[in-house]
Chains A and B, each alone.
Chain A
Amino acid sequence: MDKHLNVPVGKEEIKALRAGDMVFLTGTIYTARDAAHKRMDEALLRAGQTDPNASGEGAAVNSTGVLPLELEGNIIYYMGPSPAREGRPIGSAGPTTASRMDKYAPKLLDLGLLGMIGKGKRSREVIDAIVRNGAVYFAAIGGAGALLSKAITASEVIAYDDLGTEAIRKLTVKDFPAIVVIDSEGNNLYESAVQQYSL
């Protein structure tokens, strides 16, 4: 089913999504991949160690002020673009493999992140965190970076500029196409769709 969503988004709208839905996102999303996740995780750990109320690693830390982006209600796109040619907002901009961020994703989901866009399988821990927090995992079509770049109308590096393509970017998107792979109930399109066609 085709759906249009304005992002950032409310919990109720995320809960209404079902694995298999084709969703067109309009609004603001953020990019982060391996190196940016590692840095965000280190920032949370440092904050947790200095927060007298924290128990366990980074547990009770509010991400505001610690991370370069507000997690609450937001969506992270696992993507590192190619450089933009003159007059264009961004270069090629397709998803990277999500499983490399599995180590970091549960903590970010527990801190309010509502959605992730990537490609490929997720770990049991991430799926549990998606269900626990009523979040969602979308797939964008891997290897369609030229096409997907057309749905991005603006791009601005907001943190970790030294990481180059791995910096955190704030993207303005218009009708960015994404497919719900894991919904807030834990339904997984990668499993159900493949079973349907397996001989």
Chain B
Amino acid sequence: MRSIDVNKITEAVKNLCIDANHRLAPDMERALLDAEDKEESTLGRQILGQLKENLDIAGRDMIPICQDTGMAVFFVKVGQEVHFEGGSLTDAINEGVRRGYTEGYLRKSVVSDPLIRKNTGDNTPAIIHYDIVSGDKVEITIAPKGFGSENMSRVFMLKPADGEEGVKNAILQAVKDAGPNACPPMVVGVGIGGTFEKCAEMAKEALTREVGTHSDIEYVAAMEEELLEKINRTGIGPAGLGGRITALAVNINTYATHIAGLPVAVNICCHVNRHARAVL
């Protein structure tokens, strides 16, 4: 058994919030740079150039990459040999969000109730997905999620008879409907299988996968490549103002499902696909 003081969790979470909102992970930054070389549209290239300049300013002057610094989403893998000391793990993560969003000059975008809509003032509560794993470490991944693209995300409860074609069509439809609203070039996270909530969570987690890597499952990897090509033939382009680069990646996660179902979730993320990770 290994003991971890929850204050260390709070400190790590605070730093992750600030870091993720000011610097893109190297894979995303590289993908954006590569996109500028591939874009055919003059306006599209100009926009990609501005996005690069935006990243430079954000990191240099410590101005968030996007004003929508998101709802703080976490994937936390807790080793089953870890014992937490000093308080609740969930409280510690929320305290880290509170400090990160306040001390880091990040926008507070969370309302306490979906209909009464009063801002909580500190961007809490976070959305936390826990997973118990073997070992004595804690891995915390933050993915602050802006709602321009979140609002364009979808869940489709397809029929088994819809098959692979049905899945591809659903994903393409979600991307076309999102268009300029989701701030392309986008990253498309997809969950196929599981249950209603499982596929949505898989789609969200797929967004944290390194851009340019593919699924270990051969047919899924082929689908990722095919869909990326099809999405980039829609003409939506950077900022939705026409061009070749509509998406930077399609990341698909899959899971076992029921004999009667084929759930598909499409979680769209803008070009500010933020993710940062810490292991304690």
Seen from chain A, the residues whose Cβ lies within 8 Å of a Cβ on chain B are: 35, 79-85, 88, 91-94, 96-97, 99, 119-121, 139, 141-147, 149-150, 163-166, 177, 179, 181, 189-190, 192-199
Contacts and interface: CB of A to CB of B under 8 A. Distances in A.
B181 A189 contact: no
Contacts of B181: 97, 99, 119-121
Contact of A141 (B50, B233, B244): B50
Contact of B235 (A93, A97, A177, A195): A195
Contact of B109 (A97, A147, A165): A165
Contacts of B50: 141, 144, 147, 177
A91 B183 contact: no
Interface string B223-243: 000000000011111011111
A192 B235 CA distance: 10
15 contacts: A80-B107, A83-B106, A85-B105, A92-B64, A96-B148, A141-B50, A142-B148, A143-B66, A164-B119, A177-B50, A179-B43, A193-B243, A194-B235, A196-B235, A197-B242
Given A91-B67, A120-B148, A194-B240, A82 B105 contact: yes
A197 B67 contact: no
B58 interface: yes
B235 A147 contact: no
A67 to B, nearest CB: 21
A143 B119 contact: no
Given A92-B58, A143-B146, 11 more contacts: A80-B109, A83-B107, A88-B63, A120-B240, A139-B239, A139-B241, A142-B66, A143-B183, A145-B64, A165-B108, A196-B235
Contacts of B51: 141, 143-144
Contacts of A119: 148, 180-181, 183, 239-240
Contact of B54 (A82, A144, A193): A144
